[in-house]
Homo-oligomer: A and B are copies of this chain.
Amino acid sequence: MTAASQARRRRDADELEIVAFERGEHTSYSACGIPYFIAGDVGALDDLVARTPAEHRARDIDVHLRHEVVAIDLARRAVQVADLDGGTERWEPFDSLVYATGSVPMRPDLPGSDADGIFGVQTLDDGALIRRVLESDGADRPPPRRAVVVGGGYIGLEMAEALVKHGLDVTLIEAAAHPMSTLDPDVGALIADAIRGVGVTLYEGERVTGFGTDGGRGGGHVTSVATAEREVPADIVLLGLGSRPNVALARDAGIPLGTSGGVAVDRRMQTQIAAVWAAGDCVESFHRVSRAPVVVALGTHANKQGRVAGINIGGGYAAFHGVVGTAVSKICEYEVARTGLNEREAAAAGFQYVTAEFEGTTRAGYFPGTMPIRIKMLAERRTGRLLGAQIVGREGAAKRIDVIALALWNEMTVEDLLGTDLSYAPPFSPVWDPVLVAARRTFEAVEGGPA
- A residues near B, CB below 8 A? 30, 32-33, 36, 41-42, 47-48, 50, 154, 288, 298-301, 303-304, 319-330, 335, 337, 339, 364, 366-368, 396, 398-403, 405-407, 409-410, 412, 416, 419-429, 431-433, 435
Which residues of B are found within 8 Å of A47, using beta-carbon distances?
366
Which residues of B are found within 8 Å of A421, using beta-carbon distances?
288, 300-301, 322-326, 339, 405, 409
Query: In the bound complex, how far is the Cα of B449 from the Cα of A154, in angstroms?
Result: 43
When C-beta atoms are compared, the residue in chain B nearest to A366 turns out to be B47
Q: Give this chain's copy count.
A: 2
Question: Do residues A425 and B32 form an inter-chain contact, with CB atoms below 8 A?
Answer: yes
Query: In the bound complex, how far is the Cα of B279 from the Cα of A10, in angstroms?
Result: 53
Which residues of B are found within 8 Å of A403, using beta-carbon distances?
402-403, 406
Query: In the bound complex, how far is the Cα of B154 from the Cα of A398, in angstroms?
Result: 27
Q: Which 4 interchain pairs have the tightest Cβ spacing? A: A328-B423, A300-B424, A47-B366, A410-B410
Question: Do residues B330 and A425 form an inter-chain contact, with CB atoms below 8 A?
Answer: yes
- How far, in Å, is A314 (CB) from chain B's closest CB? 13
Query: In the bound complex, how far is the Cα of B323 from the Cα of A423, in angstroms?
Result: 11
- How far, in Å, is A31 (CB) from chain B's closest CB? 10
Question: Do residues A407 and B405 form an inter-chain contact, with CB atoms below 8 A?
Answer: no
**Residue of A304, A367, A425 contacting most chain B CB atoms (<10 Å):** A425
* Partner pick for A33 among B320, B329, B366, CB 8 A cutoff: B366
Contact A433 B48, CB 8 Å, known A422-B326, A428-B330: no
When C-beta atoms are compared, the residue in chain B nearest to A410 turns out to be B410
* Partner pick for A423 among B319, B364, B401, CB 8 A cutoff: B401
Question: Do residues A423 and B42 form an inter-chain contact, with CB atoms below 8 A?
Answer: no
**Residue of A400, A405, A431 contacting most chain B CB atoms (<10 Å):** A431
**Residue of A32, A41, A406 contacting most chain B CB atoms (<10 Å):** A406
* Partner pick for A400 among B33, B301, B399, CB 8 A cutoff: B399
Contact A326 B401, CB 8 Å, known A48-B366, A366-B30: no
Question: Do residues A33 and B364 form an inter-chain contact, with CB atoms below 8 A?
Answer: yes
Which residues of B are found within 8 Å of A429, using beta-carbon distances?
328, 399
Which residues of B are found within 8 Å of A425, using beta-carbon distances?
32, 154, 327-330
Question: Do residues A402 and B422 form an inter-chain contact, with CB atoms below 8 A?
Answer: yes
* Partner pick for A402 among B36, B423, B426, CB 8 A cutoff: B423
When C-beta atoms are compared, the residue in chain B nearest to A406 turns out to be B406
Q: With A399-B429, A402-B435 given, name 18 new contacts (CB 8 A).
A: A32-B424, A33-B366, A48-B366, A300-B422, A300-B432, A320-B419, A321-B416, A326-B423, A327-B425, A328-B423, A396-B396, A402-B422, A403-B403, A405-B420, A405-B421, A406-B407, A406-B420, A410-B410
Which residues of B are found within 8 Å of A398, using beta-carbon distances?
423, 428
Which residues of B are found within 8 Å of A288, using beta-carbon distances?
421
Instruction: List, sorted by A's number, 20 A–B pairs whose CB atoms are closer than 8 Å.
Output: A32-B425, A32-B426, A42-B366, A48-B366, A299-B431, A301-B421, A324-B421, A326-B421, A327-B423, A328-B423, A328-B428, A330-B428, A396-B396, A396-B399, A398-B428, A399-B399, A399-B400, A399-B429, A402-B422, A402-B433
When C-beta atoms are compared, the residue in chain B nearest to A337 turns out to be B423
Which residues of B are found within 8 Å of A399, using beta-carbon distances?
396, 399-400, 423, 428-429
When C-beta atoms are compared, the residue in chain B nearest to A403 turns out to be B402
- How far, in Å, is A305 (CB) from chain B's closest CB? 10
Query: In the bound complex, how far is the Cα of B428 from the Cα of A440, in angstroms?
Result: 26
